[in-house]
Amino acid sequence: MINKGIRKIDSEAIVTGKPIYTEDLIMHKDVLTVKLMRSPHAFAKIKNIDVSKALKVEGIVDIYTYKDVPNYRYSMVGESYPEASPHDQLILEDVVRYVGDEVAIIAAEDEESALKAMKLIKVEYEKLEPILDATKSENNPILIHTEDDLFSPFDFGLDASRNIVSREKFSKGDVDKEFENSDVVIERSYITQPQAHCMMETHRAYTYIDANARLVVISANQSAYHMRRQIARAIGLKHSQIRVIKPRIGGGFGGKNIAVTEIYASFVTWMTKRPAKLIYTRKETFAMTNTRHQMFFDIKLGSDKEGNIKGIELRALNNTGAYGDNGPSVCSESGHNTLPAYNDVPAIKFDGRTVYTNLVPGGALRGYGATQGTFALDSAINELAQELGMDPIDLKLKNIIKDKSDGGIMNFPIRTCKLDECIKRGKELIGWDEKYPIREIGNNKVRAVGMSIATHGSGISGIDMAIVNMRMDEDGTYKLMSGSSDLGTGSDTILAQIAAKALNTTLDRISVHTGDTDMCPYDTGAFASCTTYVTGSATIKSAESLKAKILKVASKKLEIPTEDLMLFEDRVCSINEIDKFVLLEELGRESVGGGDQEVLYSSESFGIKESAKPFLAGFVEIELDKTTGEFEIIDYVCTVDCGAVMNPTLARIQVEGGVTQGIGLAVYEEPRHDEDGNLQTTSFLQYKVPTKKEVKNIQVEFIDNYEPSGPYGAKSLGEIVIHTPAPALANAVYNAAGVNIRELPITAEKVYMSMKNKK
């Protein structure tokens, strides 16, 4: 079952349009439509709000303002408690902090009535001067959060009196001393822009009260248990009063790891005792949920003449927007999931801080800070190679982390690393020696290559954990129950493969049930690249526990010692005499028939103490027109060390999808705000994402490896695949045009103007 290209177990339901998504599952005829009135100002105080005329609109059930909601501060992020995020939000508040912040909740019989009433709500605002530039936020006399009840469950340096959300420093060695002893020292600055998630299914939730007076929330979310916790805190309920169900998800990429629609729909249902639905428009999903964090980096590198890097200093400024959300951990990961690639460098220093601004909140998006940090770090390494007159591949091979590295800036050892093999194999696949750095092809056009490397993590050590329950049914088949979320990645299929491997059976004998806080055990959810590594490990433990019980029962029935038995697809056999067996169907039937037979059920947990690091090398070939600065991607190569590959077909799709998103960040995607803080790119007409036409060919090859801490040797894959396109493309553009673009996206205009200014 392992390393088999098995198609996803839900593929038929998806491609045939079965009713499996949130909106498909609305079963109540009297469901209320919820709409949110939003702020037109980036920063303002509500002096007065009048809903009297709006309440008279036919079809309006109720309208709620900040005067009507509970006063419990919460964070909407789907992280494990204690969150590394400030609790700085209320359901509604008399202060609005970005264009689109919620002002009123409208509950209506239909959408038309809700929209009509929204126009009749009268709000008097006291406009305040906003902070729209993150570089001007720290120590600004304008304070975005002044509330007395703001607090943080985890101490990460929150200081709202200075607009600081977090501050983190870590280091090894003496960087100043190493810079003094270096032959070459360079200092560079880089900027990465926000990025929209662009999932096909917008945010949505459907809520109702069940027969036991409990709140049921059905929503496309990435962590059902964390959603339940945030809903409970925001509304003031006990966890036991809420059930969260996750159906199929139409894409997430981190964007559905926040409680947004869930909280507002839940509040309406709890107040009215009627079912409710809240479905965001595409504009709301773009402008009123969250984005990738905009980040600013200053980096300093020191090296000797031979290319031995002596010191790395990385300083990061993270724009978290109006609310803290994932800001502290994203900023942290911009160092923790990038710098270990150079852990053997004598001196490394990281200094990161996160600040508030009056813009759309930043949140989790595939790559989670490491994508931004990789662009800065790897681009700087490439520029150091330019200063030294070296091939960047030679420079990196000389300085990257080696297998079984320990200590330095890492909290746990690296047990497996084949990054050097990734680089060497990728070099062959792209034809580096024949193409580096540039080839003239006529008509003022050139072709050039560029490259990048990356690392990431597999879950969050000391925090992420999963419980998996398994049982044998009466017909001798198995049920696997997990609180994890399949975002379309095929993680349910991977868990089924892992269980089938452990139980020596076939995939069709494993039924997977996930994402229901009543029916499935606790799981941290689908984020931090943890599902295969964490939940997969719990699956092995649970399957092996169940297997032991099955063999014990079979041993008693066959009167054969357990060590002489083997579990097969549909039976338990004697190792020595294959005609002596008992069918699993018989054992399953007898297990529910009373008597003293042991129940064929298991429940096991797995919490990670260390986070295995995957590694990846990315190579790109571009064709660039020197008269215009326009360029297109000809070929992209990814060579990956993700340990043992569970399902090559699904893994390959993960790489291709991540590279495509990374190319979008690198070249195409750019949220734009006007001078008042209004987001102008609120549809796919204004916000460009790459298609297959722009991306063209992506070659993927997995470097064989085995990670002893992972399930059957696996490491993570989901996030690392987005890291390399931006620095690789920047490197290729330099080789083609002789200019370094240090602010994303890398547009033809920037390339042209840089070439012009250079001349």
What mean pLDDT is predicted for residues 223-251? 96
Q: How far is CA 267 from CA 69, 193, 236, 247, 377, in A?
A: 8, 34, 10, 21, 44
Q: Distance of alpha carbon 315 from its chain centroid, rounded?
A: 23
Using the predicted structure, report yes or no on whether residue 344 has a pLDDT greater than 80: yes
| pLDDT tens column, 178-225 | 999 999 999 999 999 999 999 999 999 999 999 999 999 999 999 999
Q: How far apart are CA 427 and CA 750, in angstroms?
A: 28
What mean pLDDT is predicted for residues 525-542? 92
| pLDDT attached to residue 95 | 98
| pLDDT attached to residue 403 | 81
| pLDDT tens column, 433-449 | 999 999 999 999 999 99
Pairing of strands 215-219, 204-209: antiparallel
Phi, psi of 516 (to 5 degrees): -135, 115
| pLDDT tens column, 373-401 | 999 999 999 999 999 999 999 999 999 99
- Three-class DSSP category at 310: strand
Phi, psi of 635 (to 5 degrees): -155, 145
Q: How far apart are CA 542 and CA 65, in angstroms?
A: 48
| pLDDT attached to residue 596 | 75
pLDDT band at 475, cuts 50/70/90?
A: very high
Cis upstream peptide for 130 (omega within 30°): no
| pLDDT attached to residue 680 | 96
More confident residue, 194 or 610: 194
| pLDDT tens column, 357-371 | 999 999 999 999 999
What mean pLDDT is predicted for residues 134-160? 96
Using the predicted structure, report yes or no on whether residue 488 has a pLDDT greater than 90: no
What mean pLDDT is predicted for residues 274-278? 98
Q: How far apart are CA 223 and CA 227, in angstroms?
A: 6
Phi, psi of 116 (to 5 degrees): -65, -45
| pLDDT attached to residue 521 | 96
The contacts of residue 364 (CB under 8 Å, 6+ apart) are: 77, 78, 254, 255, 257, 258, 290, 326, 330, 527
The beta strand positions in 524-668, using DSSP E, are 565-567, 571-574, 581-583, 601-607, 615-625, 631-641
Using the predicted structure, report yes or no on whether residue 595 has a pLDDT greater than 80: no
Using the predicted structure, report yes or no on whether residue 543 has a pLDDT greater than 90: yes
| pLDDT attached to residue 514 | 95
pTM of the model: 0.96
| pLDDT attached to residue 592 | 85
Q: How far is CA 30 from CA 48, 197, 276, 281, in A?
A: 32, 32, 8, 22
As a whole-number percent, the residues of the chain with pLDDT over 90 amount to: 91
For the CA atoms of 666, 670, 671, 677, the dihedral, rounded to the nearest 10 degrees, stands at: 120
Place of tokens 């309440």: 55
| pLDDT tens column, 648-666 | 999 999 999 999 999 999 9
What mean pLDDT is predicted for residues 412-431? 96
| pLDDT attached to residue 598 | 83
| pLDDT attached to residue 90 | 98
pLDDT band at 1, cuts 50/70/90?
A: confident
Which residue, among 492, 431, 429, has the nearest Cα to 702 in the 3D structure?
429
Using the predicted structure, report yes or no on whether residue 597 has a pLDDT greater than 80: no
Using the predicted structure, report yes or no on whether residue 424 has a pLDDT greater than 90: yes
Using the predicted structure, report yes or no on whether residue 747 has a pLDDT greater than 80: yes
Which residue, among 348, 341, 287, 314, has the nearest Cα to 98 in the 3D structure?
287
The mean pLDDT of the chain is 96
| pLDDT attached to residue 386 | 98
| pLDDT attached to residue 65 | 98
- Three-class DSSP category at 624: strand
Selection from 12-21, 490-499, 526-535 with the highest mean pLDDT: 490-499
